[in-house]
Chain A
Amino acid sequence: MQNRFRFYLQLGFTLLVCAFLVVPVVLSMLAGVTENFFVGLSSGLTLRWVAQVWEMYQPTIWRSLIIALACLAVTLVAGVPLAYMLARYRGGHSRLARVIEELLMMPVAVPGLATALALIMAYGQLREFRASILFILVGHVIFTLPFMVRPVLAVMQSSQLAQLEEAAASLGAGRMRRFFGIVIPNAASGILAGALMVVTLSIGEFNITWMLHTPLTQTLPVGLADAYASMRLEVGSAYTLIFFFMIIPLLIGMQWATQATRKKVSL
């Protein structure tokens, strides 16, 4: 009897926490398709706020997607070989590799505001660079690089690359061939997990981007902040709704990929 009671007490609290996280999401989704949120659902459902957002903020959505994909491309090209070096240099146990890993995490450990200020102080004078989306891309790449390197490195460390490569080398495969034929296929699950993470983070990145953007290089989260501050609640909600539709598939994919990776890495 007492056990039953305790169970329901705990369940009740868990549901409360769950409601705290989920109710505002549902509310904002509803507000985005309600004629007048202050009046309530009785004022009727409408898509006009979504249409208004689409009209006003469409460029920010495309820009965010472009930046996220470019960021993915750069982190793939720079991050996967870097993870390979970290996994293999001196058998993967070198001091150098630890130092590099530590350094790579710094842009995540240090607040985005500091990273953004540093970029502005160092490169703000280069007007063309400052005004282009490349400036934002650079910030995103620095911030997301460790999220590509870490899962890839974890999978590489657990997949006996040294032996596999040695076997391939003994059959005459060169370094490049081994990298593309053995290393990359073996690290595929880590690459996938990292890629989903990089795209999700880049689409939602605000702390760095807010400082780096110009009126002509607004991204989606920057537009969101703008809409929250200056538009009516329904418009902000409709915009958030669009954002949710963009990242929810990514989040689901990410959960699935981390599970797959965890199974493979299983420590």
Chain B
Amino acid sequence: MKSMISPASGAPAPLAGQPPAARPRAAGNGVWLWFAVPGLTLFCAFWLLPMVRLVGVGASGPDGAMAYLSVLTNRHYFTSLMSTLALSAVVTVATLAISVFVGLFLQRNRFPGQSVLLAMLTFPLAFPGVVVGFMVIMLAGRQGLIGAFTNWLFGESLVFAYSLAGLFLGYLYFSIPRVILTVVAAAEKLDPSLEEAARSLGAKPWQVLLHVVLPALLPALISSGAICFATSVGAFGTAFTLAANIDVLPMTIYNEFTGYANFATAASLSIVLGLITWAMLALARSLTGSGVAAAA
């Protein structure tokens, strides 16, 4: 390394009296591009080109490029797409409602144990989908808590982990921590004097919430809601753990690929799925005008 470091190897140092505008800019700009070479090479070789290939494979089946329309024309794929979108939409709405409620409460009140609560609420943030699925089994599975509780209460155990309801619970499980974090961070930046003004003008608490707090939180809600929606649409691990026959699009793709070796369909469906999630995030970003960082 040392041998590479010599005063001559860098851009020429500006002379002492030279104005900053005369810095040797043009010479520098090209050099910076070299720093991007390793990363961009990896990206192009292992994502961009494979994706282009996937688009091609999607059109290589017996139906050609029409395969991309099969998600609309084939009844099975269409129901699967619709149930995925509906489930994700419901999850997103429920997560936003819960997170706004809890996030605002935690940000507004000071009480002992509050930071522990927040830490516990955000702790499952990086759980992989499979583990989330297992958590749902722990709650609502055959030996789960809800089953044991309802058995004790009504003499009949309620087991719903292996259905769409279980999937809903799982998606809620991994969405809540992320959205709560965003809500708390956004609520910290709110201007308290606006709420005071509203209150002093006689607004009731729900009016303050509806007309002052929620509009101010809106950008954060749009961006975290979009992430929540996109993650739910693409989630695979949770559904995989709970049951192979839940009819959501990622499971359909997986079954087409491994079960029926139907590569063209799997490819075209996953391109459609990718377009949906990407478009969701891009839309949210253009609405809020800020970077919507998708999460794992």
Q: Which residues of A contact B (CB under 8 A)?
A: 7, 10-11, 13-15, 17-18, 20-25, 27-28, 31, 37-38, 74, 77-79, 81-82, 84-86, 88-90, 100, 103-115, 117-119, 121-123, 138-139, 141-143, 145, 147, 149-150, 166, 169-178, 180, 200-201, 204-207, 210-211, 221, 224-225, 228-229, 233, 236, 240, 243, 247, 250-251, 254-255
Name the CB-closest residue of A to B20.
A166
- Additional A-B contacts beyond A81-B39, A143-B296, A171-B13 (20; CB < 8 A): A11-B105, A11-B109, A21-B123, A24-B139, A24-B145, A37-B143, A78-B39, A81-B36, A100-B36, A106-B47, A114-B274, A117-B253, A138-B46, A169-B14, A170-B14, A176-B5, A225-B241, A228-B137, A236-B134, A251-B125
The total of interchain contacts (Cβ-Cβ below 8 angstroms) comes to 273
Is B289 on the interface with A (CB-CB < 8 A)? no
In the bound complex, CA of A109 to CA of B233 (Å): 11
Contact A210 B240 (CB under 8 A): yes
B residues whose Cβ falls under 8 Å from a Cβ of A: 1, 4-11, 13-14, 16, 23, 29, 31-36, 38-40, 42-43, 46-51, 53-54, 57, 98, 101-102, 105-106, 109, 111, 117, 119-131, 133-139, 143, 145, 172-173, 176-177, 230, 233-237, 240-241, 250, 253-254, 257, 263, 266-267, 270-271, 273-274, 277-278, 281, 293-296
**Bound-state Cα–Cα, A143 to B50, Å:** 14
| Contact B43 A104, beta carbon cutoff 8 Å | yes
Are the CB atoms of B32 and A100 closer together than 8 Å?
A: no
What are 23 sample pairs from A and B whose C-beta atoms fall under 8 A apart?
A: A18-B120, A20-B172, A20-B176, A27-B139, A37-B143, A74-B42, A78-B39, A85-B32, A110-B274, A110-B278, A113-B250, A117-B257, A117-B267, A117-B270, A142-B47, A143-B296, A166-B14, A171-B13, A174-B8, A176-B4, A228-B241, A240-B134, A247-B126
| A147 vs B172: C-alpha distance when bound (angstroms) | 23
Distance, CA A141 to CA B133, complexed state (A): 25
A193 to chain B, nearest CB (A): 13
Which of chain B's residues have a CB closer than 8 A to the CB of A84? Answer: 32, 35
Contact indicator A207/B129 (Cβ below 8 Å)? yes
A residues in contact with B105, CB < 8 Å:
10-11, 13-14
B136 contacts across to A, CB distance below 8 A: 24
Q: Is the CB of B5 within 8 A of A177?
A: yes
**Residues A17 and B57 in contact in the complex (CB < 8 Å), given A106-B278, A117-B267:** no
Check if A221 sits within 8 Å of B123, measured CB to CB: no
In the complex the two chains form, is A121's CB within 8 Å of B53's CB?
Answer: yes
Asked whether, in the complex, the Cβ of A174 is within 8 Å of the Cβ of B5, the reply is yes
In the complex, which residues of chain B have a beta carbon less than 8 angstroms from the beta carbon of A78? Answer: 38-39, 42
Minimum distance in angstroms from B129 CB to a CB of chain A: 6
Which chain B positions have C-beta within 8 A of A108? Answer: 294-296
Which residues of A sit under 8 angstroms from B98, Cβ to Cβ?
17
Give the one of A21, A100, A143, A145 with max B CB within 10 A.
A21
Provide the bound-state CA to CA distance between A141 and B120, in Å. 29
Verify B277–A82 contact, CB threshold 8 A.
no
- Output the nearest chain A residue to B142 by Cβ-Cβ distance: A233
**Closest A residue by C-beta to B42:** A78
Q: Nearest Cβ distance between residue B276 and chain A, in whole angstroms?
A: 9
Q: Which residues of A contact B5 (CB under 8 A)?
A: 173-174, 176-177
Top 6 A-B pairs, shortest CB-CB distance: A111-B234, A82-B39, A174-B10, A118-B50, A122-B50, A110-B274
Given contacts A78-B38, A111-B274, contact A251 B126 (CB under 8 A): yes
Q: Which of B11, B43, B293 is the one whose CB lies under 8 Å from A145?
A: B43
A contact residues around B42 at 8 Å (CB): 74, 78, 138, 141-142, 145
Contact present for A112 and B143 (CB under 8 Å): no
Q: Which of A27, A104, A122, A173 has the most CB of B within 10 A?
A: A122
